[in-house]
Amino acid sequence: MSFPDDEPTAMAPPHPQTVRELVLITGISGSGKSVALHALEDAGFFCVDNLPPELLREYMGLEHPRYTQRVAIAVDVRTARSLPALVPLIEELRGEGVAIRPLFLDANTDTLVRRFSETRRPHPLSQPEASSGGNQHALIEAIELERLMLAELREVSTVIDTSTLRPAGLRSHVRELVAATTNRLTLVFESFAFKYGVPLDADYVFDVRVLPNPYYVRELRPLSGRDAPVAQFLSEQPEAAEMLAQIEGFIRRWLPALAHDQRGYVTVAIGCTGGQHRSVYMVERLGQRFADHGAVVVRHRELDAID
């Protein structure tokens, strides 16, 4: 599945106002930055693609139309020389009261190689002779070099793993994150299957494979943790109740410290074998238990990939 590079998005404006909200889209080439940017445009953001980082402060100082008080800007490795200055600039702007939220899109290397093969587009860091010859080894080297160049920026951003996301799923997730964000820390609860790998965007990972598995109950096998029979089965297991309470206690204990750390989002990933029953149930219950927190997003990586 590909995330084609779309043309830069921009709109022309009448009536000046100041920018109140800035979402900074960055990440690995081929991870879906154009899709994310267009999702924000659909959500009412004024979007600019590939703005050089050294122009970011100047851009923020410009007067904008009243309907562009929410701005999304994409920055990537094509402006490589300016990237080292971007991380301290983010902190400076925050210190000046700018509500800036960096989102970093990522995907595993196999997925990125497949996407570049499908779209037949060269990687921005590929050598011309390598990209024209379709050298997979050179492509992998370019991807790994890009990871190194963007590593510091990734550390200060909210990471979105697009490895298993279709474009529609990525658009939905980006809109959910932006909509859920208030001046409070946003909690993202995500279920996944260990057999497909740990999500790249996880801040905390909990393994619930030790719990009784509904998969081995014939009537429950085709269902998911969102279905009442599976939920009832797991709610009757003392181990499930104990683990749920322990995970909830851990998160509540450290929420104040995480919020104090000025994070915008924290992703708590819950994994089981297939990502269908136990992890889904636990994520659904955690979403309910933290409803009082206000800013909560619930995701099911494997179920969303199926849907």
Q: Read off the pLDDT of residues 125-160 as tens digits, 9 standing for 90 and up.
A: 876 544 444 466 688 999 999 999 999 999 889 899
Cβ atoms of residues 208 and 270 within 8 Å: yes
More confident residue, 151 or 120: 151
Give, in words, the CATH class of 16-180: alpha beta
Q: Highest-confidence range of 51-55, 65-69, 107-111, by mean pLDDT?
A: 107-111
* pLDDT at residue 180 in the model: 66
How would you class 238 by CB atoms within 10 Å of its CB: exposed for 0-12, middle for 13-18, buried for 19 or more?
A: exposed
Cβ atoms of residues 211 and 230 within 8 Å: no
| Beta pairing, strands 16-17 & 64-65 | antiparallel
Q: Residue 19 pLDDT more than 60?
A: no
Predicted confidence band of residue 235 (pLDDT cuts 50, 70, 90): very high
Give mean pLDDT, residues 40-68: 78
Quote the mean pLDDT of the chain: 85
pTM over 0.85: no
In angstroms, the CA 109 to CA 117 distance is: 12
Give the pair of three-digit tokens for residue 74: 């994409």
Q: For the chain, what are the domain ranges?
A: 16-180, 186-306
Amino acid at 30: G
Lowest model confidence (mean pLDDT) among 70-84, 158-172, 193-207, 269-283: 70-84
How would you class 26 by CB atoms within 10 Å of its CB: exposed for 0-12, middle for 13-18, buried for 19 or more?
A: buried
Of 92, 166, 78, the closest CA to residue 126 belongs to 78
Beta strands across the sheet bearing 204-207 = 204-207, 265-272, 186-193, 296-300
* Helix, strand or coil, per DSSP, at residue 274: coil
In angstroms, the CA 249 to CA 231 distance is: 21
* pLDDT at residue 6 in the model: 45
